[in-house]
Amino acid sequence: MIDHYKILTLTFSDARLEELSDYLIADSPETGEVTALQSLKMELGVEELYYLHTCNRVLYLFYSPKSLSDIHHGLIGYLRRQAPDSKVNFGLKKYAGDDAVQHFFEVASSLQSMVVGEHEILRQVREAYEKCWQNGLAGDQIRILFQSALQTAKAVHNKTRISEKAVSVVSLAMKKLRRLGIHPQDEVILIGAGDTMQKVGRFLQEWKMEKVKIFNRSWENLHLMQQILPGAEIHLLEELPDHDLNVPFIITCTSHPDFILTSEIIDSSTGGKGMAGCRGILDLAVPRDVHPEVITDYGLKVIEVESLRTVAEKNKDFRKKEMLLAGKIISAELESFREKVHRRFIERAFRDVPSRVYATRDKALNEVYKDQIENLDPQSQDLIREIVNYMADKCISIPMQTARKQYIAIRKAQSMSTKQSDQYKKD
């Protein structure tokens, strides 16, 4: 039943990074993630479980007749016991039935991603499913949901241009950085550790950047950035002149009222050797962090936030149309999934009918009426068997056909009622 699908989730838009990590299943050397998930599934008493976690989200998908409230309470209790010092609360977003299926389709199609239209999430969704399937966490019900989500995501990417034009300043900035030829081996210096730079950090983490230094005024946000980029070096901003700034890329975004990067600071850090090794600077701060003289003195390519905002505004209308189209595709796929689930329900409900009908037929021919049939001539015996076989087949097909017709009639009535309700709201 579609009502048995339930989702509990938390994303980058709902919580700070340190809060998000509290909702992950512990992958300890003693137990391991799979063992912990198997324990969770057993403790909650759910039929099937799917678990997805990325640097931006954690998602628990359940298939169970149990109430979402009971599952929610059970999961929170499990997470609190797993990490007693964590700050796990009841802030998870909850979805059930149609809403859960739609949300899962949107996640797989990247409509819920930090960068709408990106393809990486589909790989992550697939790998999470394979892990859950191979370890007996997910079963047949989650399998058909995953297959439909995969089909939906492909339809969204093939039939829309949703991934073509970014609308956020950070997305556009990182896209420009890609065009400048950034490579995982390139050294990158980040100046600032606020929300914008945390988004930048997630991009760099996905790109598997290996040499990152982060500078900020306070240690608190530096430690948050280090959770996103575990291999990064962290330093206080006052130490910036003591480090060589002649690196391939610098990305800066602080709330400091004065310029952070000046020719004086660069000369001090490089020993007057210049910035020949720097291929680009992203200045995402308002007001700017990079002094104009840096561009003229060193001939550097500096991408500033205002130029990015202009492009972002132009892309918004385009993206809105593509998002609407993607929404229509997902709605159509959701309706198709409903039909698939209900057909399967009917088929499963009638699964034992054929064997029971044929068993009754065989008993009638070979036991109950055996003597009477044997007293008939061969031609009459063949006719009796032909009639009984015909009736057996009809006893199987008629109930299933009737159930399907009744279901189609109910769905049409529900659809008509929904359309009338929507029209009433418009009027």
Domains of the chain, first to last: 2-163 (3.30.460.30), 169-310 (3.40.50.720), 350-426 (no CATH)
For residue 103, pLDDT beyond 90? yes
Alpha carbon distance 47, 66 (integer Å):
10
Tell me, what's the pLDDT at 120? 79
Could you tell me which of 5, 181, 25 has the C-alpha nearest to residue 99?
5
Tell me, what's the pLDDT at 63? 97
Tell me, what's the pLDDT at 258? 83
Tell me, what's the pLDDT at 165? 61
Q: Which residue has the higher pLDDT, 1 or 42?
A: 42
How does residue 133 score in pLDDT terms, banded at 50, 70 and 90? Answer: very high
Q: What is the pLDDT of residues 25-47, one digit of tens each?
A: 876 655 688 999 999 999 999 99
Cis peptide before 248 (omega within 30 of 0): no
Mean per-residue pLDDT for 366-372?
90
Mean per-residue pLDDT for 180-193?
93
Distance of CA 410 to the CA centre of its chain: 32
Q: Point out which residues pair with 54 in neighbouring strands.
A: none
Alpha carbon distance 255, 376 (integer Å):
100
Contact 291, 259 (CB under 8 A): yes
Q: Point out which residues pair with 35 in neighbouring strands.
A: none
Where is 360: in which H helix or E strand? helix 353-363
Tell me, what's the pLDDT at 309? 63
Tell me, what's the pLDDT at 414? 60
For residue 281, pLDDT beyond 60? yes
Distance of CA 73 to the CA centre of its chain: 23
Could you tell me what percent of the chain has a pLDDT over 70? 85
Alpha carbon distance 150, 133 (integer Å):
15
Query: In what side-by-side order are the strands of the sheet with 187-191?
Result: 233-236, 211-216, 187-191, 249-252, 280-283, 302-304
Tell me, what's the pLDDT at 143? 95
Q: Which residue has the higher pLDDT, 133 or 346?
A: 133
List CB contacts of 143: < 8 A, sequence separation 6 or more.
133
